[in-house]
C-alpha cells in the first residue's frame, strides 16, 4: 500500500511498541479502543477510507478469556465495520477486508 502511495492509518491501542512500529513504516497511527461500540463507525466516518482492513481479534492468546471482549471484537466490531463501510460505499467506494475469526 505504501509503495503505491496510499495514505495508511493504523488503529492502535495505547501500546508504545505498536505505535513505534507503525510510525517506522510511514503509517499514521490513530489511538482508539475498538472494544467500545461506535468507535469503529466514528473512525470510518472521520477518516473516510477507501479500504478498511480489519485485523482486530480477541482470544488467540490463551490468556484472553473475557467473553464480553470476545463478543465485541470478534462479532460486533466486524458487523459495525461492515455497516459503516457499506454506507460509505454507496457514495465513496469503501471496501472492507476482514481477516480473522
- Mean pLDDT, the chain, integer: 86
State residue 62's pLDDT score. 85
What is the pTM for the complete model shown?
Answer: 0.82
Nearest CA to 80 out of 49, 48, 43, 50 is that of 43
Nearest CA to 1 out of 64, 57, 51 is that of 51
Amino acid at each position: 500500500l505504501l509503495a503505491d502511495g496510499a495514505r495508511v492509518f493504523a488503529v492502535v491501542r495505547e501500546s508504545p511498541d505498536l505505535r513505534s512500529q507503525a510510525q517506522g513504516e510511514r503509517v499514521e497511527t490513530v489511538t482508539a479502543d475498538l472494544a467500545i461500540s461506535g468507535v469503529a463507525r466514528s473512525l470510518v466516518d472521520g477518516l473516510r477510507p477507501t479500504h478498511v482492513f480489519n485485523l482486530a481479534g480477541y482470544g488467540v492468546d490463551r490468556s484472553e478469556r473475557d467473553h464480553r471482549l470476545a463478543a465485541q471484537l470478534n462479532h460486533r466490531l466486524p458487523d459495525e465495520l461492515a455497516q459503516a463501510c457499506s454506507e460509505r460505499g454507496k457514495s465513496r467506494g469503501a471496501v472492507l477486508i476482514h481477516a480473522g475469526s
